[in-house]
Structure 1
Amino acid sequence: MDDRQLVVDFLNTLDVEETTDVLAEAAGWRRWAAERDLRADPLPAARAARDALRAAVGDPDARTGPLRAPVHIELSHGRPALVPASAVGAVLAAAARLAVLGEWDRVKICPADDCRWAFYDQSRNRSRTWCSMRVCGNREKARNWRQRAGSHG
């Protein structure tokens, strides 16, 4: 799994629209980590990491805080690599690699209050706002149009 997908998948363990949370119970978190061949950290560490990362990419409902995860560096095939000891470490290592590559600002949270889905902005100029223009963007544009039309009548 590539870094972008791992980070976005982790951020989307919270689904505002469906009102589901993979991190609501330890079993869900362990299953999520196991599906990615990762070792699950204690649940409070996973929740704290997700909240801090969601806050860092623009979720106004998320709380930020200091994060720590065991990661070491190995020299493999003549190249240094971040090697995480756990699922949270893997996500943080992926986020760090995205930051080093100048791609961290492409990880965004949909601003729709009933969505808040995380996505990776692949637009050339990094200007994408909505997780889906067809769904959230269209809905917001229609809402704004109705408000403007109503104020003119």
Structure 2
Amino acid sequence: MNDDASLVVEFLNTVNVEENTDELAAAATWHAWAAKRDLRPGPLAEAREARHALRAAVGDPRLSPRELRVPLHAELGRSGPRLAAEDVVAAVLAAATRLAVLGEWERVKICPADDCLWAFFDNSRNRSRTWCSMRVCGNREKARAWRARGAEPQAEPQPVDSH
């Protein structure tokens, strides 16, 4: 996973449904999260709004889509043009924009397991990965489906009428 994908996925995963934790619940944890990535945190409310909009955009079933406007600017330096960001939210949106330009945005997904909803980057060749982890969520869901099929009453075979 490249740096842009890592930043976007890490930001989306500042909320952890399974562990019931949220890095954006308090300014202290938000500032620590940003500092760990050498980024300026910016306003907490803006970060929450951005996370909501981005998670909805990549398929979090609990959230409704919403518009998001974040100031970005382009800079031209010796190494060429780049999107510049003042804080974490702008850096995440710049990373998401670069992913979109490269056709990689669709690879950012939300695990469909209700007790997970973890964001992940789909590295599969055909972009068909569904679960954040086949060993955990995928296996759990397959086991649930198997048990559900086993609990369904089986229809008795009907005799074939041979007229």
Q: TM-score range by the shorter chain?
A: over 0.9
1:95-147 superposed Cα distances (whole Å, 9 cap, x missing partner) = 00000000000000000000000000000000000000010000000000111
Asked if the contact 1:112–1:136 (Cα under 8 Å) also holds between the matched residues in 2, the reply is: yes
Deviation per CA, 1:29-72: give whole Å up to 9, x if none: 11111111111111110000000000000101124322122211
Looking at structure 2, the residues matched to 24 and 65 of structure 1 have their Cα atoms a distance apart, in angstroms, of 20
Question: Identity of counterpart residues, as a percentage?
Answer: 67
Write the letter of the residue equivalent to 2:70: A
**1:33 corresponds to:** 34
Aligned to 1:68: 69
Distance 1:139 1:78 in 2: 47
Runs of 4+ in 1 over 6 A off after TM superposition: none
Gaps spanning 5+ residues in structure 1: where? Answer: none
1:20 aligned residue:
21
Higher alpha-carbon deviation: 19-28 or 60-69: 60-69
Q: Distance in 1 between matches of 2:125 and 2:66?
A: 31
- The normalised TM-score by structure 2 is 0.91
TM-score between the two structures when normalised by the length of structure 1: 0.96
- Contact kept, 8 Å, 1:8 with 1:119, in 2: the verdict is yes
Aligned counterpart, 1:85: 86
Higher helix proportion, which one? 1
* Residue 136 of structure 1: aligned partner: 137
